[in-house]
Chain A
Amino acid sequence: MIEMQDVSFGYRAGSELLSGMTMSLQPGMFHFLTGPSGSGKTTLLRLCYADLLPSSGKLSVFGQDVAGLSRDGIAMLRRRVGVVHQDTQFLDHLPVAENVALPLSVSGQPADIEAMRDLLGWVQLSQHARALPPSLSGGERQRAALARAVILSPDVVLADEPTGNLDWDMSMRLMQLLVELNKTGKAVLVATHDLNLIRAVKAQVSARVLRIAGGGLQLAGAEL
């Protein structure tokens, strides 16, 4: 579903941050993306939802070359890729429930109140449905972001450091949600540098671990 072939990218012309990356995201598989801070994890994810374009190589998402997408094409792609951003932004003037439902309203689909209630219950935000995003805690924000990322029932979920500011218990709860998602058949890619988290998840599902090192992408071995 997401295929990279010899993809390179640099924020400035002439100096490449990522180079020669080849990978393919397997449908229904759980993936981790790891690497030191500043190695380019967020950058790689942004390439995957066409927020950035490769400077060379071929990146195709759902069989479409992202370099050839129109602006509307990019919008359509993003409806099929759920993203939990590292610093998730909401519309601060709308309550949590409306923020979570936003992908529905901007894509012209009716909001299903029942499904909405289920979704908020799943991420344990039922009591905060009417709260405004700025009043949420870090963990609540991440769970709201996850709910928003999956409301259109995407084929792939990309999560960028979803547990960044969370304590261990909350991190595990969030990972639990991602594991449940994966069990419903969705491909999941989680960027994190927390190896303990990777180990804990690997105990529950089989996961592939990709590592960014020296600007390139490797499949991490069994040492994890």
Chain B
Amino acid sequence: MRQSEFRALKLKALWQGLIGRDGGAANRIVPPTGFTAHLTLFSAGAMAFLAVFALALALATERLADRWASELSQSVTVRVSGQQQEQEALTQSVLDILQTTPGAGQPRLLDQDEVGALLTPWFGPDMPIDALPVPDLIELPITGTDFDAEGLRLRLEGEAPGAVLDDHTEWRRPLVSAANRLQVLGIISLVLITAASAAMITLAAKAALAANGQVIQVLRLIGARDITIAIAFVRRFTHRAAIGAAVGTVLGMAAIALLPDMQAAGGFLTGLGFSGWSWLLPFLVPLVAAVVGFFATRWAALKMLESVR
């Protein structure tokens, strides 16, 4: 029989058959398959449960990366302290070094008032700063990704002893990239879970169709159109995948909702879970499962019908 006819098994007609109320006849055509049915339900549910966690991981790591990245300071501070008479020359040579540092902007020497403001928390407002051997503070904005804190530190050590680079938040940088990496892994997991579910539903549908070869043959012989037969099977498997996935999704969401309050737990795991509108995202899981079930079964049904006239 011509291939093109199978391709033309109208998606629209299948969809209408899928959501139509008149499922009675279509539902009864396919023999009940207790064991396979339960396996399909269970697998769809388990996959959905995992998908919810992968989704939560992807969202949480995204938030984590955002927060850490925003906390990365946009500048570093260089502290210069030397003997009274050397200090000025030392500061000038540090400024020269900073000016030629790749990835950094224009260094700025903080004036007395600014330094005073920084020291106030430690010494109180009445301390006469002029009387103290206060170090010079130079603020260096970071403008490029090629800024190398470690290289600068070594250079200062060698060329301007007495100058100390203070990059308080630089240590977070690898954490941000780790968080980004984790997010990618979460997304890859979602894709793999979807693909594995598709494979599983296709296998289940193929097995069911193969086991029902006689049913399909009988139906064709008494004048059933391909679309009628396809709807019967697609309906069965799409519903099954959607119901299983819905249960798995609800269980997964409940498990996440019941995690101990992160504010209290604090630390690295901060915010594994959904917040606000992202609680809606997991509801896509059963929807995707239904869509996957629909196309997987349709493909299996078409394959099967090709062998029957």
Contact = CB atoms under 8 A, between A and B. Distances in A.
Given A93-B31, A105-B25, A106-B228, A70 B5 contact: yes
Contacts of B2: 70
Interface residues of A, number: 30
Interface stretch (A74-82, A114-122, A181-189): A74-82
A106 B226 contact: no
Contacts of A210: none
Interface stretch (A3-11, A13-21, A30-38, A84-92): A84-92
Nearest to A107: B223
A152 interface: yes
B254 interface: no
Contact of A85 (B219, B221, B228): B221
B233 to A, nearest CB: 14
Interface in B220-259: 220-226, 228
A83 B28 CA distance: 23
Contact of A72 (B32, B218, B225): B225
A103 B225 contact: no
A103 B223 contact: yes
A90 B5 contact: no
Contacts of B29: 91, 102, 105-106
Nearest to B32: A93
A79 B218 contact: no
Interface in A49-64: 49-52
A91 B5 contact: no
A50 B223 contact: no
Given A71-B5, A89-B214, A89-B217, A102 B309 contact: no
B222 A106 contact: yes
Contact of A91 (B215, B223, B226, B309): B215
A94 interface: yes
B89 interface: no
Contacts of A155: none
A77 B224 CA distance: 10
B264 interface: no
A89 B215 CA distance: 9
18 contacts: A49-B221, A50-B309, A70-B5, A71-B1, A71-B5, A71-B226, A75-B226, A78-B221, A83-B221, A85-B221, A89-B218, A90-B218, A98-B28, A102-B29, A103-B222, A107-B224, A108-B228, A148-B222
Interface of A: 49-52, 70-72, 74-79, 83, 85, 89-94, 98, 102-103, 105-108, 148, 152
Interface of B: 1-2, 5, 25, 28-29, 31-32, 214-215, 217-226, 228, 309
Given A89-B214, A89-B221, 5 more contacts: A72-B5, A72-B226, A75-B225, A90-B218, A93-B31
